[in-house]
């Protein structure tokens, strides 16, 4: 389970983010970048944020702390910006909070991560099919001399088909990953060694603990996956099968 906090003040929208995330203060005196449940991208991007973010953390990558954040109705009432007010009104209940890294700089290549860090981030993106780490949108922050990975909402795109199609773990297992546009391609090293090291940690127990952090309310029932438990099992199977299919997606070739 993620820690749960309640928003006390909406501070400012982050207009550079496509989903209009906002900086929000909470009752634990923390400041968070909030990804709203009512944003046009839907709840599945929040699921991907939690699954991939917590997987990254478990594998030792630097990712900001994640919380679930309750948005009281009163927060929207004091908001003057109509677009923001609409988004707040569309997002009652549980939203995603990403610990704000104050003063963090966007990644521009001037200070690279180590080869090992770069390899781990690229491996994670290939494993989870995260296409959103390119030079036009690096989704990496520099903070306290460290490269932090953010914004994993585009990963696990297979789940966008679930409302209509049956889960198909085999298809995901075989889906290649195009690394040629990846922002860390030039810095990363031998991904086979990285795969051997990281994949050894990704087992049922780890995936179940990561999936347990996803709030039930974000796992919308579908015909084929009628309960949060069924959805969690499907995510777990997709990720376990993908590990087995490493030869299809590992940049640089089979492990
Ligand atoms: N934890 C954080 N600390 C500091 N700044 C952050 C944090 N999270 C996000 N940001 C800033 O906000 C921007 C938008 O965040 P993010 O990429 O997560 O949102 P998004 O709506 O998913 O964006 P995109 O347009 O890439 O899909 C980031 O590029 C970064 O500048
Ligand atoms: Mg982004």
DSSP notation for 26-87: ETTS-EEEEEPTTSTT-THHHHHHHHHHHHHHHTT-----EEEEEE-HHHHHT---HHHHHH
pLDDT per residue as tens digits for the range 160-210: 999 999 999 999 999 999 999 999 999 999 999 999 999 999 999 999 999
Ligand 1 atom nearest residue 14's Cα: 12
In sequence order, the β-bridge partners of residue 92 are: none
State pLDDT tens for residues 13-39: 999 888 999 999 999 999 999 999 999
Whether the Cβ atoms of residue 153 and residue 139 lie closer than 8 Å to each other: no
pTM score? 0.97
Q: Tell whether ligand 1 has an atom less than 6 A from the beta carbon of residue 97.
A: no
Q: With 50 as the cut, is the pLDDT of residue 255 above it?
A: no
Q: List the one residue out of 87, 64, 60, 67 whose CA is nearest residue 76.
A: 87
Alpha carbon nearest to ligand 1 atom 20, residue: 17
The answer, yes or no, to whether any atom of ligand 1 lies below 6 A from the CB of 19, is yes
Q: Which residues does 213 contact at the CB level (< 8 Å), separation at least 6?
A: 1, 2, 50, 54, 66
């Amino acid at each position: 389970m993620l820690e749960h906090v309640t928003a006390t003040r909406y501070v400012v929208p982050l207009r550079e983010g496509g989903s209009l995330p906002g900086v929000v203060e909470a009752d634990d005196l923390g400041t968070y970048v909030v990804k709203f449940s009512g944003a046009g991208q839907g709840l599945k991007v929040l699921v991907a944020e939690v699954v991939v973010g917590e997987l990254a953390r478990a594998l030792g990558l630097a990712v900001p702390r994640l919380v679930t954040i309750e948005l009281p109705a009163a927060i929207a009432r004091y908001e003057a910006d109509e677009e923001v007010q609409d988004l707040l009104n569309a997002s009652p209940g549980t939203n995603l909070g990403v610990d704000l890294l104050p003063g963090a700089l966007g990644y521009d290549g001037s200070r690279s991560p180590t080869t090992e860090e770069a390899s781990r981030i690229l491996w994670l993106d290939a494993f989870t099919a995260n296409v959103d780490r390119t030079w036009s949108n690096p989704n990496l922050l520099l903070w306290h001399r460290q490269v932090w990975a953010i914004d994993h909402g585009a990963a696990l795109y297979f789940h966008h088909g679930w409302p209509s199609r049956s889960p198909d773990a085999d298809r995901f297992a075989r889906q290649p990953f195009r690394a040629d546009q990846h922002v860390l391609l030039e810095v990363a090293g031998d991904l086979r060694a990285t795969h051997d090291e990281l994949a050894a940690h990704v087992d049922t127990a780890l995936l179940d603990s990561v999936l347990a952090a996803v709030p039930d309310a974000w796992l919308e029932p579908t015909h084929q996956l009628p309960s949060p438990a069924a959805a969690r099992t499907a995510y777990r199977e997709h990720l376990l099968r993908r590990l087995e299919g490493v030869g299809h997606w590992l940049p640089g070739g089979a492990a």
